[in-house]
Amino acid sequence: MATTRDTSKDGLRNKLENFVLTRFKPVWRLVQANQSLAKRVNKFLINNAIYKVPTRPHPFSTLSPYTSWDSLTDRTYSGLHLPPLNWQPLTSQDHYDINLSTPQDFEEKWPDVKDLEVLYKKTGDTKYSPKSTLIFPYFVQWFTDSFLRTDRQNQLRNTSHHHINLCTVYGLTPEVTKLLRLHQGGKLKSQMIDGEEYPPFYYDESGQRKEEFRGLLHQPTSALDPTPKSDNFPLEQRIKLFATGVEIERANVQIGYTMLNVLALREHNRLCDCLAQHYPTWDDERLFQTARNILIVEVLRIVIEEYVNHITPYHFNFITDPLAFTKEKWYRQNWMTVEFTLVYRWHSMLPETILYDGQPMAMTDTQWNNDLIIRKGLGALFEETCAQPAAQLSLFNTATSLVPVELASIRFGRRAKLRSYNDYRDLCQYPRVNQFEQISSDEAVRQQLKRLYGHVDNIELYVGLYAEDLRENSALPPLVGRLIGIDAFSQVLTNPLLAEHIFNPETFSPVGWAEIEKTTTLSQLLHRNIPTGKAAYRVSFDR
């Protein structure tokens, strides 16, 4: 039951910023029309987002509750925006200049994780996003898998390179990359099916793993059984799994993830043909490496100029202008944080059912089912995906099969000793809430939070993130949006390929530079990678 949310703790500056950026559309159009002015405003707004919190390097990581040389350099441990709960300051000076809660006031009052299941189970029909199509959560899952990679053996550690590097396509190690390469013309191995290009199958027709792909990563069946999980799939599913860069089970996990991997492979091989035509003396290695660089930057541009502009409710559209920021104090080595991992767990945006060929299909039936892509073709599948809404990012809206994953995320936050939801509001320059009415307009959300936590100061970060109402004309709640803005901008724009002496035509070739300059949307990427003569398809994050 929806009521009215108390906005008294939104913060005056936050309200003013939102008011100015979400109104006066004609003025913003004039700003955008002047390239020089647009670049200056772009720089100001991006810096304004990033400087909401202290910049990297963070004093703490999941390695220890105090700062050490290893905690500042060992990036196999995940970073922390705030000190862990068991941290005790040695001086009266608060480094963070915020009112940190204490473990006694917070940790001891956590409800049992199993009791929090009620916050995610649906109480009625699926709530749908007012703004986003289904391709939006698909794309988010796919591109964040490049860098938000929690170690399955120890959640406090990660297997990340800390950059958008398309390891889902190219692999996490040179050894894996070598297995996926054709070693001719710079291309990745592929196959043609009904006139469309796809990655090669990992299993042969009898369901045996192909010898050429021995060495690709797997998820074990269990802690006691190292057998690949995919070996136990039904034969008709197993033989359609694609050989790709990350774990076979992960890269083929769901139709959205796989269709984006297929698109990226096609674009890489298309770029190789384009480069080979213009630079006939280049060998296989140079063609591969240059095409890889171009594709990564194309995706970075889509992230900034389509994805980020979709999630903001603003009338100003952000642009990719990395050279404007090289002297900023936030321009530091990337290091993914636990908090960044949790703000990207958008399980509730995946509905229980989707439409496939116009007929309802359970989302679980799209898992490890690549035949759905091959039968329909990539272009038609993208269009049908973009013709249906994503579910809404909120409590009481998670598909039944994903509720255990939500609870696992809460356990992860507790293991990492994350501080309270209110502490993170304070960190991000939102006033601390003192009433449940300041979090949500949904009476059911308020009642359950009060019953489970007793007081707003006891609410955990992961729960609080998704308890908040969506911002007007946005797919995201306020704190989620702010944390994403902080880390997304500061970690996309520090990609090595966007660095001052690298982001130029010399690195990518004049031909590759032209390809980068004409790529700002997923639709552009798709339409140059479907068979000629096919119809134009509507591909958009926006409903």
- Of 272, 276, 254, give the one whose Cα is nearest residue 139: 254
Contact 77, 157 (CB under 8 A): yes
Q: What is the pLDDT of residue 87?
A: 83
Q: How many CB atoms lie within 10 A of CB 504?
A: 11
Report the alpha-carbon distance of residue 287 to residue 16 in Å, rounded: 50
Nearest CA to 98 out of 111, 110, 81, 113 is that of: 81
Residue 189 has pLDDT above 80, yes or no: yes
Mean pLDDT of 231-236: 94
Q: What is the mean pLDDT of residues 315-336?
A: 95
Query: What pLDDT score does 3 carry?
Result: 77
Give tens-digit pLDDT for 117-140. 999 999 899 999 999 999 999 999
Please give the C-alpha separations between residue 99 and each of 7, 55, 94, 123, 204, in angstroms, as whole numbers.
21, 19, 8, 36, 59
What percent of the chain is predicted at pLDDT more than 90? 90
Bridging pattern class, strands 359-362 and 353-356: antiparallel
Task: Supply the pLDDT for residue 1.
Answer: 59
Residue 288 has pLDDT above 60, yes or no: yes
Token readout for 106 is 């917070």
Distance CA(5)–CA(477), nearest Å, equals 13
Contact 145, 252 (CB under 8 A): no
Tokens read off for 29: 């159009």
- Element housing 79 (H / E): strand 79-80
ω before 57 within 30° of 0 (cis)? yes
pLDDT digits (tens, 9 = 90+) for 18-72: 999 999 999 999 999 999 999 999 999 999 999 999 999 999 999 999 999 999 9
pLDDT value at 534 more than 80? no
Could you tell me which residue, 533 or 453, shows the higher pLDDT? Answer: 453
Answer yes or no: is pLDDT of 225 > 90: no
Closest-CA residue to 119 (of 467, 436, 470, 391): 467
Q: What's the gap between Cα 188 and its chain centre?
A: 24
Q: What is the pTM of this model?
A: 0.95
Does 108 have pLDDT greater than 80?
no
What rounded mean pLDDT belongs to the chain? 94
Above 60 in pLDDT, residue 156?
A: yes
Number of Cβ within 10 Å of residue 77's Cβ equals 21
List, for residues 405-460, the tens digit of each pLDDT value: 999 999 999 999 999 999 999 999 999 999 999 999 999 999 999 999 999 999 99
Helix (H) or strand (E) holding 130: strand 128-133
The residue whose two tokens read 């100029």 is 305
pLDDT value, residue 343? 95
Which residues pair with residue 356 across a beta bridge?
359
Which domains does the chain show, CATH number per domain?
A: 12-130+330-344+389-492 (1.10.640.10)
From residue 86, alpha-carbon distances to 106, 158, 337, 416, 419 in Å are 11, 21, 18, 10, 10
Cβ atoms of 493 and 446 within 8 Å: the answer is no
User: Where does 1-95 have alpha helices with state H?
Assistant: 12-22, 25-33, 35-50, 69-73
Name, in order, each residue with C-beta under 8 angstroms of 63's C-beta and a sequence gap of 6 or more. Answer: 70, 71, 74, 77, 156
What does the pLDDT read at residue 91?
66
Residue range 457-485: average pLDDT? Answer: 95
